[in-house]
Amino acid sequence: MRSYTGVLFWAICIVGIVWAQDACTGQCPNDETGNPVDGNFAHPADCSKYCACNGGVGTEQSCPDGLVFDPVLNICNWPEVTNCTQNECPRTVSNFTRTSTYAQFGMIWGAWMKDDYVLADGVRVWLINGINSAELLEFANELDYTNGVIGRIITLPFNCAGTGHVVYKGDLYCNIYATRNMLRYGIDTGASEIKELVGVGVSAVDEYDWGYKAFTDGDSSWGSGAFIDFAVDEYGLWVIYSSDATFNKITVSKFDDEFNLTDTQSTNYDKVLAGNAFIACGILYVVQASYGDFSGSNNNYIRYTYDFAFNTDANLGPLDIPFPTVDRSCMVGNTNVNSFYSRVSYSAQDEKIYAWNCAFHERIDVAFSQQGESIVRLYADY
């Protein structure tokens, strides 16, 4: 009996080893010349694991506790989820389910941000008040942010324009006021890098609708500065803008990790007709309007979408994807409006919209629907 038990034990071990190896068999890709590509790739059945490929041979590895494998960036980055179908692209926004108010202070326009990449650093919150400021306020956590307890005030080397700033991989990205230049600033290092966004338009029709109003009302000699709007999604860092070359249509460019533009695509939607915009899973979503009375049947909604993987767009109606607006009854110029969204930015880390509505800082839950096959390979060059 002991001999049979021993044989059975080793047989089970061998089968287990073979099964672990088989799970990653065939998961290692080849390049265009047929040579194996080394690196980490998605596990076929378990998102808490991945296949480490070396010389065409894949071995099963586990992600650290609390993280699952990100098949877009090929690292263990996403927070742990209940199943492997969440947080995977492609998927489309289907609805917005709830709006929560986290704070109320500052001007009627501004930006509040968390790092849209570093999960472990997601506890910190940053804020830039107004549309022309060199002050970056840092809060140690959301509780301090809600209570207005500032951890430190960081003086930036330049004033940031508009509200389209983001924090990504420890760096703040913003448009330097009254220029066509983009700033990448290391929040903890103080290092800065400046690059010109060649061709970006800086006329009234290159603003979002709320920026156009500020421009034409003469609130600022540089309008609202809403010419350059940074965005972060599951695929990384983007910038939304328009130009004369594209007849002032919304244009989107993708960055690599070195702050270089790697791809640019133009849409068929006038930027000045957009209330705001965000990107999720490689799809641009344009909010119909940013300010006004949206009570009764006059609902705000996602008016236009553009899929960068397939170069396809769609015009939507008020009932397709309604965008929630909360009545804040604030003043914009000489007009009393029920809501005024000067910032709408998507966070892939927690699948929420970070919005600035008058002086109220809102977080809006986003619901997705899965669709189609993975489009990760279409972004392989990014």
Give the DSSP letter string of 21-84. HHHTTT-S-B-TTSPBPPEEEE-SS-TTEEEEEETTEEEEEEPPTTEEEETTTTEEEEEP-SST
What does each C-alpha distance from 333 to 8, 246, 291, 320, 326 come to in angstroms?
A: 80, 30, 12, 31, 19
**Residue-range definition of the domain harbouring residue 24:** 2-79
86 domain-assigned: no
Q: Are residues 257 and 136 in the same domain?
A: yes
85 domain-assigned: no
Q: Are residues 143 and 66 in the same domain?
A: no
Question: Is 305 exposed, middle or buried (CB count within 10 Å of its CB: 0-12, 13-18, 19+)?
Answer: buried
Q: Are residues 280 and 202 in the same domain?
A: yes
pLDDT in tens, the chain (382 residues): 444 445 444 443 444 444 444 689 877 888 767 788 899 988 877 878 899 999 989 999 998 887 778 766 678 876 544 445 455 677 899 999 889 998 998 998 899 999 977 654 458 999 999 999 999 999 998 889 999 999 999 999 999 999 999 999 999 999 999 999 999 999 999 999 999 999 999 888 888 987 776 655 555 545 566 799 999 998 899 999 998 899 999 999 999 989 999 999 999 999 999 999 999 999 999 999 998 888 777 789 999 999 998 899 999 999 999 999 999 988 877 778 889 999 999 998 888 999 999 999 999 999 998 754 333 323 333 3
Q: Are residues 269 and 375 in the same domain?
A: yes
* pLDDT value of residue 294: 84
What is the DSSP secondary-structure string of 300-316?
-BEEEEEETTTTEEEE-
* pLDDT value of residue 348: 86
- Residues 138 and 144: their CA atoms lie apart, in Å, by 10
Q: Are residues 241 and 280 in the same domain?
A: yes
Q: Are residues 54 and 96 in the same domain?
A: no
Q: Are residues 208 and 347 in the same domain?
A: yes
Question: Is 199 exposed, middle or buried (CB count within 10 Å of its CB: 0-12, 13-18, 19+)?
Answer: middle
Starting at the edge strand that comes first in sequence, how are the strands of the sheet with 181-186 ordered?
Answer: 110-113, 125-129, 132-139, 152-168, 171-176, 181-186, 192-196
